[in-house]
Chains A and B, each alone.
With several copies, the nearest count.
Chain A
Amino acid sequence: MILDVLYFAWVRERIGLPRERIETKAPTVAALVAELAAREDRYAAAFADLSALRVALDQDLSDFDAPLSGVREVAFFPPMTGG
């Protein structure tokens, strides 16, 4: 499947780009993270501590063990600081 993967705040800075299109067979968010972290150091650095990260699937907050089937857009970012 082909996913739009988006990065925000320091995740974006660490990986060095705001979004990319990724072809993957990862069944879950965690599997996608493992796949990305294995790519390059900058990805490994960004995904080193999952407790410091949040994920949204198709613009809804989700969990790292959520399945990716049917998903088109995945976003990774730090805890939000709105308001």
Chain B
Amino acid sequence: MTVRVQEELFDLGAETAGFAARASGAGAVVTFTGLVRDVPGGLSGMEIEHYPGMTEKALTAIRAEAMARWSLADALIIHRYGQLRPGDLIMMVATASRHRADAFAAAEFLMDYLKSRAPFWKNERVGSDSAWVAARDEDEAALSRWQD
């Protein structure tokens, strides 16, 4: 499956090696992996909320847009939700193309859209406090470079 939304951990090594093996004719494979970063004060956990139904739809549309914009052999998006801990894998994208420029641009595009247009919300717990992670202005600004 080229778009997966799941609670369980994914196997980054197996996903990367499998993606590259399937896309080996392409020549260039780029992956991005997001991990739960610790915060000052020590993160006790992160919960990722999402919008079931819309999430899959949004990721599928973002992937299709990337496939249409660049010459890609394949693209993969995996995103988790639920309870995570510092160091845990949150998500990954992978792109494959003939030359590296397409795979790099498409992976950055997927990330920019995932950050600000896919219905996920992160809640960080530090001790007994919890707070919703605020959207970053830089993330919204990053989207503008893909506008025609």
Contact = CB atoms under 8 A, between A and B. Distances in A.
A and B touch in the complex (CB under 8 A): yes
Interface stretch (A5-13, A25-33, A41-49, A63-71): A5-13
Contact of B123 (A6, A9, A80, A83): A9
Among A10, A12, A61, A80, the most chain B Cβ lie within 10 Å of the Cβ of: A80
Chain A interface: which size bin? 10 to 19
A59 B121 contact: no
Nearest to A56: B54
Given A9-B132, A10-B132, A80 B121 contact: yes
Chain B interface: which size bin? 20 to 34
Contact of A82 (B114, B123, B140): B114
A9 B124 CA distance: 12
B115 A82 contact: yes
Nearest to A61: B117
Contacts of A16: none
Contacts of A81: 115, 120-122, 132-135
Given A81-B122, A81-B135, A8 B49 contact: yes
Interface in B64-102: 79, 90-91, 100
Interface of A: 6, 8-10, 12, 56, 59-61, 75, 77-83
Given A9-B121, A61-B117, A81-B132, 19 more contacts: A8-B49, A9-B123, A12-B49, A59-B53, A59-B54, A78-B121, A78-B132, A79-B135, A80-B118, A80-B135, A81-B115, A81-B120, A81-B135, A82-B91, A82-B114, A82-B119, A83-B90, A83-B91, A83-B118
Interface of B: 34, 49, 51, 53-54, 57-58, 79, 90-91, 100, 111, 114-123, 132-135, 140
Q: Which 10 A-B pairs have the closest CB atoms?
A: A82-B120, A79-B135, A59-B54, A9-B121, A83-B115, A82-B118, A83-B114, A82-B114, A81-B133, A81-B122
